[in-house]
Structure 1
Amino acid sequence: MKTKKEHWLKKSYQKATLETKLLVVDQILNGQVSTNFAAKKYDVPRTTISYWLRKYSTLVQQNTGMSKNDELKKLKEKIEELEFVKDFQQDIIAGMELITGVDMSKKSLPKSLAKEIELKKKNRLKQNGSMDVLGLVNKPSTKDLKHNKNNK
Structure 2
Amino acid sequence: MKTQKDHWLKKSYQKTTLETKLLVVDQILNGQLSTNFASKKYDVPRTTINYWLRKYSTLVQQNTGMGKNDEIKKLRERIEELEFVKDFQQDIIAEMELITGVDMSKNSLPKSLAKEIELKKKNRSKENGSINALGSVNKPSTKESKPNKNNN
TM-score norm. by structure 2 comes to: 0.58
d(CA) in 1 for partners of 2:107 and 2:47? Answer: 52
The percent of aligned pairs where both chains have the same amino acid is 56
State the secondary structure of the residue aligned to 1:128. coil
- Whether the 8 Å CA contact 1:28–1:35 is kept in 2: the answer is no
The 1:94/1:75 distance shift into structure 2, 3 A limit, reads: same
Give matches, 1:85-124, under 5 Å: 85-124=85-124
Point out where structure 2 has 5 or more consecutive residues left out of the alignment. 1-5, 142-152
- Whether the 8 Å CA contact 2:25–2:52 is kept in 1: the answer is no
By relative contact order (CA 8 Å, sep 6+), the higher-ranking structure is 1
Shift of 1:61: 1.6
Shift of 1:128: 2.5
Name the amino acid aligned to 2:139: N
Shift of 1:55: 4.0
Structure 1 position 38 matched with structure 2 position 34: no
Q: Deviations over 1:75-121 (max 9, x none)?
A: 22222222111111110011011111111112222221111111111
Name the amino acid aligned to 1:72: I
Shift of 1:129: 5.2
d(CA) in 2 for partners of 1:13 and 1:115? Answer: 57
State the secondary structure of the residue aligned to 2:27. coil
Give matches, 1:130-141, under 5 Å: 136-138=137-139
Structure 1 position 77 matched with structure 2 position 77: yes
1:26 is matched with 22
Name the amino acid aligned to 2:106: K
Point out where structure 1 has 5 or more consecutive residues left out of the alignment. 1-7, 40-45, 141-152
The 1:59/1:75 distance shift into structure 2, 3 A limit, reads: same
- Whether the 8 Å CA contact 2:128–2:140 is kept in 1: the answer is yes
- Whether the 8 Å CA contact 2:93–2:105 is kept in 1: the answer is yes
TM-score norm. by structure 1 comes to: 0.58
The 1:125/1:24 distance shift into structure 2, 3 A limit, reads: same
- Supply the RMSD in Å over aligned alpha carbons: 3.5
Shift of 1:127: 2.1
Shift of 1:51: 5.0
